[in-house]
């Protein structure tokens, strides 16, 4: 039986009078790669922030989020996570969140801070073994030649690859990538998606990635969760996401949002690549 890595139940969130998440329910199984899609303002980033406990759902609505067996929040109250628990979740931001004045290698080593002894972490003393591992993580994202370069001299695509190496260094079981390609040119975007897809396939890590480009979601993810006006509009195998459903999902959005992914160009589809850890759902849920 597949064990859910992420459980979201009855999640509601309002900012003032504006309801941003409305009764959101879904489960993600260990080793899935899921695209979180939906028009701008539909609540994708807000939902991602709830998964890691950066934002809390409304009180008194009974909403609940569980990650790898640990309750992150329930009924609008956050549960405090231990350092070890926090390390198991890696977050990738649209704007990379690197320390610009530090070297590429130091930025990757930061991924280790949460799981090393506190005294050593405070002093930033890394062992040779940890440095070697950081270099190996950089090699996986194709940046082994850039270890000593300052992070603020990198291109956007390279910065995002360093951010992925940092998550690898952290050894996170679950990777939440919030619009990781939104600021990148098509080539860099393709490289970043290829790397995320490879990490998912080779390591069996669970990946949730928010995307504006439906074509990219189709190419790299087996399952899509779509939000529309804060409600779960679709949850199912990406092959079930027909053009008619997409049109209805994006009915008030610009065509650009739908078509932007085409700019990434055609190449071998990871949708055809079978990962034995991936179990897309068979029955889509439609709102």
Contacts to ligand ATP by CB under 6 A:
15, 20, 38, 40-46
Through-space distance between the first and last CA atoms of the chain, rounded to whole angstroms = 27
- Residue number with CB closer to ligand ATP (128 or 251): 251
The helix (H) or strand (E) run that includes residue 66 is: strand 64-67
Min dist CB 26 to ligand ATP, Å, is 16
The helix (H) or strand (E) run that includes residue 231 is: strand 231-237
Q: Which of 220, 274, 229 is nearest to 248 (CA)?
A: 229
Cβ atoms of residues 241 and 41 within 8 Å: no
The helix (H) or strand (E) run that includes residue 78 is: strand 77-78
How many other CB atoms are found less than 10 A from the CB of residue 52? 19
The backbone torsions φ and ψ at residue 240, rounded to the nearest 5 degrees and listed phi first, read: -85, -5
Sign of the Cα pseudo-torsion (33, 42, 262, 196, in order): negative
- Residue number with CB closer to ligand ATP (24 or 87): 24
Min dist CB 16 to ligand ATP, Å, is 7
- Residue number with CB closer to ligand ATP (30 or 42): 42
Min dist CB 85 to ligand ATP, Å, is 24
- Residue number with CB closer to ligand ATP (15 or 254): 15
- Residue number with CB closer to ligand ATP (47 or 175): 47
Instruction: Give the DSSP letter string of 139-174.
Output: HHTT-GGGTTSBGGGS-HHHHHHHHHHHHHHHT-SE
Q: How far is CA 131 from the centre of its chain?
A: 25
Residue partners of 203: CB distance under 8 A and separation at least 6:
none
Min dist CB 253 to ligand ATP, Å, is 10
Min dist CB 122 to ligand ATP, Å, is 31
Half-sphere exposure of 141 (CA within 13 A, CB side): 29
Tokens 């393709």 locate to: 190
Min dist CB 42 to ligand ATP, Å, is 4
- Residue number with CB closer to ligand ATP (15 or 269): 15
Min dist CB 82 to ligand ATP, Å, is 26
Min dist CB 234 to ligand ATP, Å, is 14
- Residue number with CB closer to ligand ATP (42 or 160): 42
- Residue number with CB closer to ligand ATP (54 or 139): 54
CA distances to 93, 226, 236 from 212, rounded to whole Å, are: 14, 11, 17
């Amino acid at each position: 039986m597949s064990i859910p890595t992420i459980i979201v139940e009855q999640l509601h969130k309002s900012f003032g009078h504006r309801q941003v998440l409305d009764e959101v329910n879904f489960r993600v199984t260990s080793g899935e790669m899921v695209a979180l899609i939906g028009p701008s303002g539909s609540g994708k980033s807000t939902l991602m922030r709830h998964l890691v406990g950066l934002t809390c759902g409304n009180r008194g609505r009974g909403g609940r989020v569980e990650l790898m067996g640990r309750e992150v929040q329930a009924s609008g109250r956050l549960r405090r996570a231990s350092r070890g628990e926090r390390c198991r979740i890696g977050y990738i931001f649209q704007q990379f969140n690197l320390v610009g004045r530090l070297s590429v290698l130091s930025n990757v080593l930061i991924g280790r801070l949460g799981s090393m002894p506190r005294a050593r972490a405070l002093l930033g003393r890394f062992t040779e073994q940890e440095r070697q591992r950081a270099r190996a993580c950089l090699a996986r994202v194709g940046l082994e030649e850039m270890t000593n370069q300052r992070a603020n001299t990198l291109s956007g695509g390279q910065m995002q690859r360093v951010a992925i190496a940092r998550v690898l260094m952290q050894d996170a079981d679950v990777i939440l990538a919030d619009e990781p390609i939104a600021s990148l040119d098509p080539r860099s975007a393709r490289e970043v998606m290829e790397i995320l897809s490879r990490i998912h396939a080779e390591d069996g890590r669970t990946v949730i990635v928010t995307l504006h480009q439906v074509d990219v979601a189709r190419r790299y993810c087996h399952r899509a969760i779509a939000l529309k006006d804060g409600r779960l509009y679709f949850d199912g195998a990406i092959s079930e996401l027909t053009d008619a459903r997409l049109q209805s999902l994006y009915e008030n959005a610009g065509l650009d949002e739908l078509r932007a992914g085409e700019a990434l160009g055609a190449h071998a589809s990871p949708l055809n690549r079978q990962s034995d850890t991936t179990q897309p759902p068979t029955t889509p849920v439609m709102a």
